[in-house]
Amino acid sequence: MLEDAFVTRKLIAGNWKMNGSLEANEALLRAVLAGLPAEPAADVAVCVPAPYLAQVQALCQGGPVAWGAQDVSAHERGAFTGEVSAAMLRDFGCRYVIVGHSERRQYHGETDEVVAAKAQRALAAGITPIVCVGETEAQRDAGETELVVKRQLAAVIHALGHCVGEIVVAYEPVWAIGTGRTATPEQAQAVHAVLRAQLRAAVAGQRRVRILYGGSMNAGNAAALLAQPDIDGGLIGGASLKADEFLRIVAAAG
């Protein structure tokens, strides 16, 4: 296939969620930076709570770890109390922003359309959105996995058009997030293949869109998941808070 000639490096992105403190972040990042080779075989990033972006920028600037946020406003600027705009994230050097994480969809009512608008704002500011899709356990049991993830991705493709080639997608089955129940490599690959086909149809001839797997990925299961042909990296929650575990996942992606 044409775009297979453009296979990119894997991306291992930590999602710290609402964890951390000035002290803990510094210890974690210093340990990660000390443990990484100067030129890691995979791209590495951490997505951190917004108040810590300046700290993380100062610690990571010029090194092998990129940084980003966990959410961005769908609005450009103005009277949206509490929101953080894509331009503000850009000011702090963010390369990535997670959008549409299942916790945002579930607890903050984010619809497919809102998620698509956020992805659009990020791209317009020069930030790569990591767009999360994934089915709940009930949806999987009802045989709706493919339908759900395709609908979630379709909204983003519809909003972005051919620019969807610039995003990163993360497949995160909701039942595997923070539960210790990882999708098997075969289960994950099957969904990644569906997403790959959908992306290929939307961005034919462009470079390969990276599709990450997320959901209880750890040092023990990363290698088998990352060996699947359509798994281009990982979005790591709990295991990204432990330097040693995170470093071993990065090593498994090399």
Residues labelled catalytic: 101, 172
Q: Which is nearer to ligand PGA, 191 or 202 (CB)?
A: 191
Residue 197 Cβ vs ligand PGA, minimum distance, rounded to whole Å: 24
Residue 180 C-alpha from the chain's centroid:
18
User: Does position 71 bind ligand PGA by CB under 6 A?
Assistant: no
Cα separation, 87 vs 76, in Å, equals 8
For the four alpha carbons of 232, 39, 125 and 214, in that order, the dihedral sign comes to positive
String of contacts with ligand PGA for each residue 2-41, x by CB under 6 A: -------------x--------------------------
User: Does position 216 bind ligand PGA by CB under 6 A?
Assistant: yes
User: Does position 222 bind ligand PGA by CB under 6 A?
Assistant: no
Q: Among residues 59, 168, 237, 252, which is the contact residue for ligand PGA, using CB under 6 A?
A: 237
Q: What is the CA radius of gyration of the chain?
A: 17
> C-alpha distances in angstroms, 41 versus 6, 11, 46, 135?
16, 10, 16, 31
Any binding-site annotation on 82?
no
Q: Which is nearer to ligand PGA, 105 or 208 (CB)?
A: 105
Residue 103 Cβ vs ligand PGA, minimum distance, rounded to whole Å: 7
Any binding-site annotation on 118?
no
For ligand PGA (CB under 6 A), the number of binding residues is: 13
Cα separation, 210 vs 136, in Å, equals 22
Scored b (16 or more CB within 10 A) or e, 76-97 reads: eeeeeeeebbbbbbbebbbbbb
Binding residues for ligand PGA, rule: CB under 6 A, are 15, 172, 177-178, 214-217, 235-239
